Amino acid sequence: MEEPIAQEEVEVDGGDTTTDDDDDDDDDDDVDDTEAIFLTDNLIVDASKAFVNYTLPAVDYQKYINEEGDVRDITKEIYNHFNDDYDLIVILAVETVKPEGTAYGITTPAKNSIQGLGGSVFDATSSFGSDGRLNGVVFMPRTEFV
């Protein structure tokens, strides 16, 4: 069984919604905006392109819940389909309760270009699949933690 590891569950309707009134206008305002775009079998984007639902096999999903997963595997898959237009990628799992012994959230930095704050300046964005824009990735096991 596969479990989603992304931001929102996408509602798939598959058709247009139109009213059954006597309007004879043929405008395109009646299209259902909950239709999904299937990029792959396990990578779905909502029609507004605001949320991505990436489904992992259960064994891989469990690695993230156990804080053993590498978010770079997910970001590389996302960058196969999206431009490098994001400063931050947030991954939300769909656990109903916080798994015992796990953090409320984990941030994985992709780069630090700010000097003088005590941290090293680095750029590991390419290991995430980014061409340099991504600052980091946040993983949270529950959507309620946002």
| Each residue's pLDDT tens digit, 84-140 | 999 999 988 877 777 787 888 889 999 999 999 898 999 999 999 999 999 999 988
pLDDT number for residue 26: 46
- Within a domain: residue 29? no
- Within a domain: residue 24? no
Q: Are 71 and 146 in contact (CB under 8 A)?
A: no
pLDDT number for residue 49: 76
Total domains in the chain come to 1
The C-alpha atoms of residue 89 and residue 5 are separated, in whole angstroms, by 12
The pLDDT of 57-83, averaged and rounded, is: 88
Per the structure, the complete domain to which residue 52 belongs is given by 2-12+34-145
- Within a domain: residue 44? yes
- Within a domain: residue 47? yes
- Within a domain: residue 117? yes
- Within a domain: residue 54? yes
- Within a domain: residue 78? yes
pLDDT number for residue 34: 63
| Each residue's pLDDT tens digit, 9-67 | 333 333 333 333 444 444 444 545 568 888 888 888 888 877 888 888 888 888 887 87
* Run of H or E residues at 77: helix 71-79
Closest to 40 in 3D by CA, of 13, 64, 74, 7: 74
- Within a domain: residue 22? no
